[in-house]
Amino acid sequence: MAVEQSTARGAEQTRIHNIGYRNYDGPRLGRAYARRSLYSQSLRGAYGLGRSVKSKVLPMLLFVVMCAPALIMVAVAVATKAKDLPVEYTRYAIIMQAIIGLYVASQAPQSVSRDLRFKTVPLYFSRPIETADYVRAKYAALASAMFILTAAPLLVLYVGALLAKLDFEHQTKGFAQALVSVALLSLLFAGISLVIAAATPRRGFGIAAVIAVLTISYGAVSTIQAIADAQSGDSNAIVWMGLFSPVTLIDGVQTAFLGATSSYPGGHGPSAAQGIVHLLVVLGLVAGSYGLLMRRYRKVGL
Amino acid sequence: MSRRLCGLTTRMGCVTTFGDVTVIATESLSKRFPRVTALDRLSVDVGPGVTGLVGANGAGKSTLIKILLGLSPATEGRAEVLGLDVATKGGAIRERVGYMPEHDCLPPDVSATEFVVHMARMSGLPPAAARERTADTLRHVGLYEERYRPIGGYSTGMKQRVKLAQALVHDPQLVFLDEPTNGLDPVGRDEMLGLIRRVHTDFGISVLVTSHLLGELERTCDHVVVIDGGKLLRSSSTRDFTQTTTTLAIEVTDTDEHPDGTGAVRDALLARGVTTHDSSGLPGAGHILLLTAEGEQTYDLVRDVVAELGLGLVRMEQRRHQIAEVFKDSDEQRKEAIGHGG
């Protein structure tokens, strides 16, 4: 009896420490919830949140570098009581394209190559989500991260412009047009870099390849455009060449439809018809990237 | 008593929670790739409990798991997991089933807690529940303070535990464990096998565990399925295995009364109608007696004989079976069957 009592007392004291296995009978939120969770985890990951301190450095730094010129421009505009901002909203992303390229080159492999390299992908596919859910979540997350990166400085410019009491209507229109443009840019860049990054489990290769495709293609295309401009000034040739790099594609689309001033050498801009071709190529690349990603992950499986 | 002596302290079938329900059922399941037949008309029923799936590399174990998770369509035949058809209910199956892959699958730069929480959410658990279940599960698999450190610094044994935890975190009804003891040292193996046993006895989760070592599974499983070349070689409860094929190794001390203890035991056993095998060629030959255990009574008999002679029993252990022995046995059985048939 005495023993029983003492063990009963002992059990009372240790009860909170000694919990046996408990079954889970709460809700299971299924596929859509899992996809959303993967989206938010990937989006946070794109800025190093929920990851090590080391992996926060680069994305945060690039974010600051991206916004800093906007802050300076706003400060100048306010101080000098200028009539308009020093740059157009739509021009900002084109000027900062190297930073954007660096960001997406570092974060696209982070998002998909790691899962391939550490073979985490099978763990996802042994859960309720399907290939399409994984691809959509990853694509949407990187595109959103890019949109945050490219839209934040625009917001800084816009708020600054309003503080400087610049023309409200003009500023709002420019801001809205630029938002559409960077949304398109985010989708395009995210798609292209995810396809490249998903092709290799090696992060280093992924980074190098994305930089090569985005930045070098821009460099090459604008150099050739500049030469063409200097030699013949053939507007058509210059515009068509713009189809061959992501940055110039976006430039062409926004010049044709979003009230931007062309940054093609010589200021040549696409006509409406050429603009439509630019837009179709952008949409085709976005759809093609999605298709390629689906194909890639259907093969990975377990 | 006899159970404890032979090392089988598990209570088979005591924690069966599903009654007689089959957990996995396949019916002439085949999977053919252009050049290889991975599964060849496999029909097998697996009940609740711990089931071992044994086969050499390339025997079709992983292919079977893929089909059972609804990730790869079968070429022919059908399969059900927890009563759900794998061809149409893959998503529902994967919600109730856990999977621990054979290969490494852990990112090194996140902590076990973060990783398992994420995986719990991927299984559909709400955020708060995911955190709570993660803490519970990691504790149950034996990871404590280290769970906050990045996985990259873990030992192989700890990594295996994290892999097991991510398979259990959503409290599945069934887990597939693909070679969970791969790469572990003997102590780590024993710990992992004990943990697997607990997954069923304490957690009430049925287990399908693959291995290419039959001996390892014998100690852990209630039931063993042996496949080779995609074909079912054998499916029987572990009790049948031990009753028909167990070889016991015995080692005793010598005393003044019996300077050759081993010989004395051999003679005494012979007198009771138990013959011992030739153990020459084995390490420790001359000191080790091998005999076939017909069942539990053999263990009792050995104990009694040794006690009567006043000797010390240094060891009595089951010799591990290699898969080759099953093949040999089944060959013999096949020959017998042919013999009977003809």
Q: What are B288-312's pLDDT values in tens digits?
A: 788 877 777 888 888 888 888 888 8
Q: Which carries the bigger pLDDT value, residue A141 or residue B182?
A: A141
Q: What are A134-148's pLDDT values in tens digits?
A: 999 999 999 999 999
**In the predicted model, what is the mean pLDDT of residues A98-112?**
94
Place of tokens 């009581």: A81
pLDDT value for B55:
87
Q: Cβ separation of B122 and A127 shorter than 8 Å?
A: yes
**CB nearest to A302's CB, from B66, B125, B140:** B66
Q: What are A21-33's pLDDT values in tens digits?
A: 888 999 999 899 9
Q: Which carries the bigger pLDDT value, residue A45 or residue A268?
A: A45
Predicted TM-score of the model (pTM): 0.80
Q: Which of A18, A44, A51, A123 to mutate to test the interface with B (most CBs of B within 10 A)?
A: A123
pLDDT value for B131:
96
- Which residues of B fall below an 8 Å CB-CB distance to A? 62, 65-66, 69, 71-72, 91, 94-95, 97-99, 101, 103-110, 114, 118-119, 121-126, 129, 133, 136, 140, 150, 166, 170-171, 202-204
pLDDT value for B285:
60
Q: What are B49-65's pLDDT values in tens digits?
A: 999 998 888 888 988 99
Confidence grade of residue B320 (pLDDT, cut at 50, 70, 90): low
Q: How far is A294 from chain B (nearest CA, A)?
A: 15
pLDDT value for A3:
45
Per residue, the 3-state secondary structure of chain B, as one string, reads: CHHHHCCCCCCCCCCCCCCCCCCEEEEEEEEECCCCEEEEEEEEEECCCEEEEECCCCCCHHHHHHHHCCCCCCCEEEEEECCEECCCCHHHHHHHEEEECCCCCCCCCCEHHHHHHHHHHHCCCCHHHHHHHHHHHHHHCCCCHHHHCEHHHCCHHHHHHHHHHHHHCCCCCEEEEECCCCCCCHHHHHHHHHHHHHHHHCCCCEEEEEECCHHHHHHHCCEEEEEECCEEEEEEEHHHHHHHHCEEEEEECCCCCCCCHHHHHHHHHHHCCCCEECCCCCCCECCEEEEECCCHHHHHHHHHHHHHHCCCEEEEEECCCCHHHHHHHHHHHHHHHHHHHC
Share of chain B above pLDDT 90, in %: 47
Q: Which carries the bigger pLDDT value, residue A178 or residue B21?
A: A178
pLDDT value for A4:
46
Q: Which of A257-261, B98-102, B254-258 is predicted most confidently? A: B98-102
Q: What are A168-205's pLDDT values in tens digits?
A: 999 999 999 999 999 999 999 999 999 999 998 888 89
Q: Which carries the bigger pLDDT value, residue A259 or residue A3?
A: A259
A232 shares contact with chain B (CB less than 8 Å): no
Give me chain B's average pLDDT, please: 82
Q: What are B145-178's pLDDT values in tens digits?
A: 999 999 999 999 999 999 999 999 999 999 999 9
Reported ipTM? 0.85
**In the predicted model, what is the mean pLDDT of residues B99-108?**
93
- How far CA B177 is from CA of A239, A284, B52, B62, B201, in Å, comes to 58, 43, 10, 10, 16
**CB nearest to A120's CB, from B107, B125, B150:** B107
Q: How far is A278 from chain B (nearest CA, A)?
A: 38
pLDDT value for B257:
84
Q: Give the three-state DSSP class for A220.
A: helix
pLDDT value for B165:
97
Q: What are B228-280's pLDDT values in tens digits?
A: 888 898 888 876 665 555 677 888 888 888 888 888 888 888 888 777 776 65
Cβ(A108)–Cβ(A196) below 8 Å = yes
Query: Where along chain A do its domains lie?
Result: 32-300
In whole angstroms, give the CA distance from residue A220 to residue A227: 11
Q: Exposed e or buried b for every residue in B145-159, given b needs 16+ CB within 10 A? A: ebbeebbeebeebbb
